[in-house]
Amino acid sequence: MLVQPQSCRYGVPAMTHIPAYVYCLFLLLIWMGVSRCLPRTVRIERLAIMPIIMVVLGIRGFEGLFSQPTLLDLLLAAVGLGIGMAVGWRHVSAWKIGVDRTKGALSLPGDIMMLVIILATFAFEFLLHAAAEMHAAWFSAPAAPPLAAAIWAGFIGMTLGRNLHLLSRYMSVPERSADQLG
């Protein structure tokens, strides 16, 4: 009779340790995503925050799970980035936004896209770490790193594309000169 270790349930080994910072990061990202579901006014500089967070998490996640990226990994990451940027750009193209060049601010409608991107990215990252911990066969396949790179870059591209489109719309509104302000 074979006895499974207590850490196993249904024949699948459990992840032994999830650091506390993962829960804190998850709650922070949920808060950020939910806040994007409501109409808001943001300073133009804040458009850089989410793409930077996504790039850092994507690179850190890839390097933590796989060895150095290969040329194929980089190629598929570039394809994923391009597709993600196109999706993000297209998504916000129909938005009605307010531009206040004097305050350097944008008035944006509420939208669920960022919450979906955050949740999907977190789930994807968690799945990869769980697969690595459980030594899943598919995780060791040669296609896993390039596909992971493409998916991570796609998520990055969606945030980058949407924010670059918002920035381009902000920049296309002429700034009023001092004599027009009166």
Stretch 10-20: mean pLDDT: 60
Percent of the chain clearing pLDDT 70 (strictly above): 87
Structure tokens at 113: 């896209």
Residues in contact with 42: Cβ distance below 8 Å, sequence separation at least 6, in sequence order: 105, 106, 108
For 27, the enclosing helix (H) or strand (E) is helix 20-35
Computed over every residue of the chain, the mean pLDDT equals 85
Q: What is the pLDDT of residue 122?
A: 86
For tokens 């249904």, the residue is 10
Q: Give the CA radius of gyration of the chain.
A: 20
Specify the range with the lowest mean pLDDT, choosing from 41-45, 51-55, 58-62, 123-127. 58-62
**pLDDT over threshold 90, residue 89:** yes
With cut-offs at 50, 70 and 90, classify the pLDDT of residue 46.
Answer: very high
For tokens 């998916």, the residue is 151
With cut-offs at 50, 70 and 90, classify the pLDDT of residue 175.
Answer: confident
With cut-offs at 50, 70 and 90, classify the pLDDT of residue 165.
Answer: very high
Q: What is the pLDDT of residue 171?
A: 93
The pLDDT tens digits for 100-130 are: 999 999 999 999 998 999 889 888 988 998 8
Q: How many CB atoms lie within 10 A of CB 87?
A: 16
Q: Which residue has the higher pLDDT, 5 or 42?
A: 42
Q: Which residue has the higher pLDDT, 103 or 16?
A: 103
Q: What is the pLDDT of residue 176?
A: 66
Report the C-alpha gap between 42 and 105 in whole angstroms. 5
Q: What is the pLDDT of residue 4?
A: 42
Report the C-alpha gap between 107 and 140 in whole angstroms. 46
For tokens 């650091």, the residue is 19
